[in-house]
């Protein structure tokens, strides 16, 4: 029984099993978008911005990068693909969209590429990693970037994780010589050229990160097909003097020197290098550094406190004060919704929003299809659910400011209701800057010598106008901000 639970704990990390799922999906007249409905509950004043998620579940519909507004209306649906880390980041001083897309393995990691889009949704960079990696099935992949991290650094480089299958002597943890394990790597990559600037391997630091300190039991793992996931590196970012990495399977964050050696370890189990009696976290994700000086820093993290086989406590968002003069760590913030105990067994993130001066935090619950926003005092202000709780996951979920004017045109579809009347449906996938539609009648399919009919306030993703007494069966619609025209649709016929 114990062995079964342990092997379940690695195979269930990212796959969702055959859980029944009848969550409702939205459909539209103007195109094939089918996002899951998102149920938004507000209990306080929310910050501006949009909700970014990349859900995946048992239903093929809605497995895509999705942006919703604070009312739960769809703003953007990307192509149907498995994504992670869909969000806005700053690159060369501009807001860009970044996300990973690729194959998620049942073993709890993935192979894919990182896509970077500008504010017209044009793909300006595609980042791939094409080193020599061994895979569980022995087959090569086009790019070895793992799903867990795609972080743009202040020096405009990209930090990504990568998992390699490698043979190692596992006798010290009760295994055999020459068994297979996963080494956790991270890479810093020059975005325009895909050149590797820096790489790190956890196994190369075995003296300071000993295998016997892993909290992940070997169980039935140890073959090439089912390698032992010793570390489970799931976040990395640059710091003033190196990097900070999160190793989920060590319940620890590590501050790394520029040469890759460990400067310090903060463990959620026993503090490790720190005196930390009130600090407790486990199976964590998304470690982020704030306010770093040589005397200390703030470390934020998503404390899963659960894995598929083990429950420590409810999942929370934590801010830890790390005092580097006295090597003491204390809990500054430990955020959760007291009316909704969420036990997230995998994935998740804790975002200190920071944009536009915000003091709010935003939590993606990973294996549980929910995100929540909290105010500066840790009070819940928003909950949004986008799938059946155990049947849909989003690796992370973010709230981001975003302004986009797509390179594609708005779409209009007309449905005749009588000889000279029609319902016109209008949408512009991804556009954030329009607030109304101007509707025109046109003399013919080829003439844009149009006559203004009326304007219609934007109502969510798709707006409907009921038109009557039309002189011609040709219509054109223009997305506008106030009186300012932004972009016209094709002339359509009903």
Ligand X SMILES: *[C@@H]1O[C@H](CO)[C@@H](O)[C@H](O)[C@H]1NC(C)=O
- Which positions lie near ligand X, rule CB under 6 A? 131-134, 164-167, 210, 212-213, 267, 269-270, 272, 278, 280, 290-291, 298, 313-314, 316, 319, 331, 334, 336, 352, 357-359, 376, 448, 488
The nearest distance, CB 297 to ligand X, in angstroms, is 9
CA 137 to chain centroid, in Å, comes to: 27
Nearest distance in Å: CB 356, ligand X:
7
List C-alpha distances in Å: 162 to 158, 165, 234, 317.
13, 10, 10, 25
Three-class secondary structure of residue 36 per DSSP: strand
Q: How far is the CB of 417 from ligand X (least distance, A)?
A: 26
With helix as H, strand as E and coil as C, how does 101-135 read?
EEEECCCCCEEEEEEEECCCCCEEEEECCCCCCCC
Query: Measured from the CB atom, is 3 or 376 closer to ligand X?
Result: 376
Q: How near is the Cβ of 336 to ligand X at its closest, in Å?
A: 5
DSSP per residue, 182-243: EEEEEEEEETTTTEEEEEEESGGGTTTS-GGG-SS--TT--SSSS-B----EEEEEEETTEE
Beta bridge partners of 350: 363
d(CA 474, CA 443): 7
Given the structure tokens 């928003």, which residue do they identify? 382
3-state secondary structure of 72: coil
Q: 100 or 144: whose CB is closer to ligand X?
A: 144
Least separation in angstroms between residue 269's CB and ligand X is 5
Q: What angle do CA 397, 430, 437 make, to 5 degrees?
A: 135
Which lies closer to ligand X via its Cβ, residue 173 or residue 422? Answer: 173
- Nearer of residues 47 and 462 to ligand X, judged by Cβ: 47
Q: Any idea what DSSP says for residue 59?
A: S
Q: Please say which residue, 56 or 487, places its beta carbon nearer to ligand X.
A: 487
The single residue listed with the structure tokens 């060369």 is: 92
Q: Nearest distance from residue 55's CB to ligand X, in Å?
A: 25
Measured distance CA(491)–CA(489) in Å, rounded: 6
In angstroms, what is the minimal distance from the CB of 20 to ligand X?
30
Specify the 3-state DSSP secondary structure of 290.
Answer: strand
> How near is the Cβ of 41 to ligand X at its closest, in Å?
20
Contacts of 97 (CB under 8 A, 6+ apart): 65, 86, 87, 88, 116, 117, 118, 121, 402
Q: Judged by CB, which is closer to ligand X: 164, or 392?
A: 164
Of 280 and 422, nearer to ligand X (C-beta) is 280
H or E segment to which residue 396 belongs: strand 392-400
What is the smallest separation between the CB atom of 35 and ligand X, expressed in angstroms?
A: 30
* C-alpha–C-alpha distance, residues 8 and 87, integer Å: 30
Of 124 and 314, which has the nearer Cβ to ligand X? 314
Q: Which is nearer to ligand X, 488 or 492 (CB)?
A: 488
Beta strands in 10-137 (DSSP E): 39-42, 50-57, 64-68, 74-80, 83-91, 94-104, 110-117, 123-127
Which C-beta is closer to ligand X: that of 34 or that of 319? Answer: 319
Question: What's the min distance (Å) between Cβ of 199 and ligand X?
Answer: 7
């Amino acid at each position: 029984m114990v062995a079964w639970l342990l092997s379940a704990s690695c195979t269930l990390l990212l796959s969702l099993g055959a859980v029944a799922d009848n969550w409702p999906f939205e459909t539209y007249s103007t195109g094939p978008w089918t996002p899951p409905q998102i149920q938004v509950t507000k209990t306080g004043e929310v910050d501006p911005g949009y909700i970014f998620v990349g859900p995946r579940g048992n239903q093929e519909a809605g497995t895509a990068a999705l942006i919703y507004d604070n009312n739960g209306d769809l703003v953007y649906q990307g192509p149907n693909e498995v994504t992670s880390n869909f969000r806005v980041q700053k690159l060369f001083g501009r807001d860009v969209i970044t996300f990973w897309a690729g194959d998620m393995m049942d073993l709890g990691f993935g192979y894919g590429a990182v896509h970077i889009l500008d504010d017209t949704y044009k793909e300006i960079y595609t980042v791939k990693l094409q080193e020599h990696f061994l895979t569980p099935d022995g087959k090569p992949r086009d790019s070895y970037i793992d799903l867990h991290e795609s972080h743009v650094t202040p020096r405009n480089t990209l930090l990504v994780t990568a998992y390699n299958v490698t043979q190692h002597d596992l006798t010290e943890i009760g295994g055999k010589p020459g068994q297979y394990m996963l080494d956790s790597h991270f890479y810093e990559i020059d975005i325009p050229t895909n050149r590797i600037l820096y790489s790190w391997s956890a196994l190369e630091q075995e003296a300071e990160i000993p295998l016997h300190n892993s909290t992940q039991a070997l169980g039935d793992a140890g073959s090439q097909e089912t390698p032992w996931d010793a570390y489970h590196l799931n976040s990395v970012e640059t710091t003033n003097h190196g990097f900070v990495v999160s190793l989920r399977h060590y319940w620890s964050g590590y501050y790394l020197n520029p040469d890759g050696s460990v400067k310090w370890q903060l463990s959620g189990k026993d503090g490790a290098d720190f005196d930390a009696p009130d600090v407790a976290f486990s199976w964590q994700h998304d470690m982020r550094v704030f306010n770093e000086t040589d005397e200390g820093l703030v470390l934020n993290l998503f404390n899963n406190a659960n894995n598929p086989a083990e429950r420590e406590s409810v999942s929370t968002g934590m801010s830890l004060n790390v005092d580097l003069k006295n090597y003491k760590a204390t809990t500054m913030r430990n955020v959760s919704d007291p009316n909704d105990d969420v036990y997230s067994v995998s994935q998740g993130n804790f975002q200190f929003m920071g944009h536009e001066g915000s003091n709010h935090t935003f939590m993606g619950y990973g294996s549980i299809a929910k995100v929540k926003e909290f105010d500066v005092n840790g009070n819940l202000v928003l909950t949004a659910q986008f799938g059946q709780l155990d049947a849909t996951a989003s690796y992370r979920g973010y709230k981001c400011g975003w302004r986009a004017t797509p390179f594609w045109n708005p779409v209009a579809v007309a449905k005749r209701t009588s000889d000279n009347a029609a319902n016109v449906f209008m949408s512009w996938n991804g556009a954030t800057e329009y607030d109304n539609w101007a509707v025109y009648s046109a003399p013919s399919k080829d003439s844009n010598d149009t006559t203004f009919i009326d304007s219609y306030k934007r109502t969510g993703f798709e707006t409907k106008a009921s038109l009557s007494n039309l002189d011609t069966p040709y219509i054109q619609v223009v997305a506008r901000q106030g009186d300012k025209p932004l972009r016209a649709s094709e002339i359509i016929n009903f």
